[in-house]
Structure 1
């Protein structure tokens, strides 16, 4: 765990740094326009317990993930959370930053009464899968998706 990593929610002032980080997640992906990014951050923050989280060292955005808390009608009405768009700058990998922000996302979910946290990855790289396993996630279930945009290429 990276103890000196500052974790906070993203704001409009973070959009350029955040979009630069996302460009590393999916190179060649269409970049979100800043106005839409600002609106989407605002919309995400209006969902109870949900946020775009940033991890900063020395005021530089180095890692991020989005946590969405979803109301539920099973499990006694307890919500669940989905983590998406997890990325750490390549120069900062292997230092515990990604694990720290995932822990913060899970803590946020638990604080909001979630009974589980799910994430998926489009990567088949062993290093990526090992990262999530080492962060405490287990590969389980079978996932399906129906896409409107093509999958990212590794």
Structure 2
């Protein structure tokens, strides 16, 4: 098992993993998809971290560093798409990836990291708290578009 940033050849494997998140099917192969994927991979502020087990992506966390005009121009970060393949859960992979995401955010000079979850499951919420996040400081509002 090793942890790394996603690479250009990981798109199909990552889409397979996202079927364990909330997706119901993989995106169809298209020029638009390949262009988007290429842009994501090249973006120095967009990090898709993966746990790789013998060439298979079994867990992933996305971290985006966002530039900011407040807080002394310190950026902030957002964690999204935390997922582990059902057969590989409860082994510490997501926690290790979140630790790596925090390290990247710190090294990028971020003053905070935000993480939102739609889960109401206390086990999931406790997991994020065990990673150092709290649910008391802010209130999140979502407007779906």
Decide: shared fold, TM above 0.5.
yes
Counting only pairs closer than 5 Å after superposition, residues 79-118 of structure 1 correspond to structure 2 as: 79-118=75-114
Name 1:13's counterpart in structure 2. Answer: 9
Q: Distance in 2 between matches of 1:47 and 1:41?
A: 10
What TM-score, normalized to structure 2? 0.89
Q: Distance in 2 between matches of 1:37 and 1:106?
A: 28
Q: May I ask how many residue pairs the two structures share in their alignment? A: 143
Tell me the equivalent position of 1:152. none
5+ unaligned residues in a row in structure 2: which ranges? none
Cα gap change, 1:97 to 1:10, in 2 (>3 Å): same
> Taking structure 1 as the reference length, what is the TM-score of the superposition?
0.84
8 Å CA contact 1:78, 1:113 repeated in 2: yes
CA distance in 2, matches of 1:109, 1:41: 22
Q: Which digits, 9 at most, give the CA deviation of each residue in 1:85-136, with x for residues without a partner?
A: 1101111111110100001111111111111111101111111111111111
Partner of 2:118: 122
Q: Secondary structure at the match of 1:142?
A: coil
How much is the aligned-residue C-alpha RMSD, in angstroms?
Answer: 1.7
- 2:75 corresponds to 1:67: no
Deviation by residue 1:132-152 (Cα, 9 ceiling, x = unmatched): 11111111311111112xxxx
* Structure 1 residue ranges (4+ consecutive) displaced by more than 6 angstroms after TM superposition: none
